[in-house]
Amino acid sequence: MKKLVHAGLFALTTAVLAAPAAIAAPPAHAHENNDHAQNMHPGDAHGQQHAEQRHHEVVQNRVLKPSRDWKAGQALPSHYYGKGYAIDHKRYKNLSKPGKNQRWIRVNGDYVLINTLNHSIVKIMTN
């Protein structure tokens, strides 16, 4: 009887101690980030991450030029809605007087006339 109690106690203790480890273990498929992970060799994922990082860096380092990147009629990005970009046309001889509900803004050396009601670009002038 004593051996049976010890065996039962040992089995119960082992089960209690092993349960948290089984619960905390990640699922067998947790290492797969996407559907392509099965088809990729171990080195491919590393190379792909570096290629994506290089592409992201190039996009971030590109300087926005409204005269090159924007067109009249296009919506102005919301980042430029604030009055911090607004300029007074009288201080610049090449800028015409803005019409009703229009305002000149300066973005990276270019001057952009915008409609303040719908935030569309009316005209772009280079510096």
CA pair distance 126, 104, nearest whole angstrom:
13
pLDDT digits (tens, 9 = 90+) for 36-84: 445 555 555 555 555 555 444 445 667 778 888 889 999 999 989 888 9
Domains in the chain with CATH codes: 2-61 (no CATH), 66-125 (3.10.450.160)
Token digits of residue 62: 């590109």
Residues 6+ apart with CB under 8 A from 120: 73, 74, 75, 76, 114
| Claim: this prediction has a pTM higher than 0.85 | no
Q: Report the percent of the chain where pLDDT is more than 70.
A: 54
- Residue of 47, 40, 119 lying closest to 77 (CA atoms): 119
Across all residues in the chain, what is the average pLDDT? 75
